[in-house]
Chains A and B, each alone.
Chain A
Amino acid sequence: MGEREKGILAVVTTDKNKVTGAVPIFIAEDEAEKEKVALFLAKTLDAMVHDLENGCYFIVKH
């Protein structure tokens, strides 16, 4: 992960219409699953969960 300064590693969402593109997208059934998936991803990637406040979480390595 050294070369990349900042970047979106993944997006977790309950609304698959809100996000597209060349980034791993995880679709969750509900808010609880979204939070859980985001937390697991962040912990594994040593990254941080941010909220776009439109139903999408995105995971960023700082």
Chain B
Amino acid sequence: MKGTWIFNNAPLITAGGAVGGKDEKNGPLAAYFDSFFADDVTQANSYEEAEGFFLSRAAQIALNKASLSSGDIDLFIAGDLMNQITSATYTAAYLNAPYLGIFSACATVCEALAMGGLAVASGKCQKVLVGSVSHNKSAERQFRYPNEYGSQKPPTCQKTATAAGALLLADKGQGIMLESVTVGRVVDYGINDPLNMGAAMAPAAADTICKHFSQTKTSPADYDLILSGDLGKMGRELLFDLLSSQGYGPDKQRLKDCGLLLYGEQKDAFCGGSGAGCIASVLAGYLCNLLQNRVVTRILVAATGALLSPNWVKQGNTIPCISHAVSLRVGDNNA
């Protein structure tokens, strides 16, 4: 089975922008965010529109950090959780840049990095902006119940993050190297409970991570951190066991989950954060910061996505899941 691309001339992540909402501001990673929308809606007329504002601001921050304007962008690749990825489209209209819209649910940002990396490595593009966004309230509306509905959530459920992250990929300059990418396959272990996504997605993450190790001939010890996207508490335990059973058991301290990092012990996050914006903002804020400051030098980020729609689940189908992994490394300029 194929799927791993190793970039000899690694594209560089030169800037990142992370934007969060109210609960992200009270979370443990608040210091690594660039900007917050304190009331989660701002001047928007709807949560869906607010989601577009989030991604636009994250994109603008990433551009500002690199001292670029949207006219310098060769390609904008983004996605979100909404039907027909309207929020990403809103941002594309704002940026007025060539745009490819993608969907991999919560794994969107890694898919965008893979495609952006390919575009840069092929020499066709010099500057590619990638990003993804999710909004708790619009996701609740679309995937679960109306907001304010007094239904009880089980402890296995996860909280969709109200956050956006954007990353700028460039062919030269100073930045974090996008070493390699592993594109995952759809994995379905027959889980049909949409309120237990961590368990549904863990096998996909394990599949992709194992594939990455075997195809790049690396082992867990080569990475300072191995991050799953948003598996939450239960999913992380499952992933650890699955990796161990495949002979790739990492040091448990080094196996982290972006959803858990984002909300820490916040009680209303249940098993942890999720959503396309969760991993995007953690990656663009916290992880980029760790890498730039050389707290860690090489990490593997395996974002996971549950590719379901509400009707699909009501029709009695199981949840197909996917995971895409990117390997990031700091080093000297590759030029």
A, B co-complexed: no
A-side interface residues toward B, CB under 8 Å?
Answer: none
B-side interface residues toward A, CB under 8 Å?
Answer: none
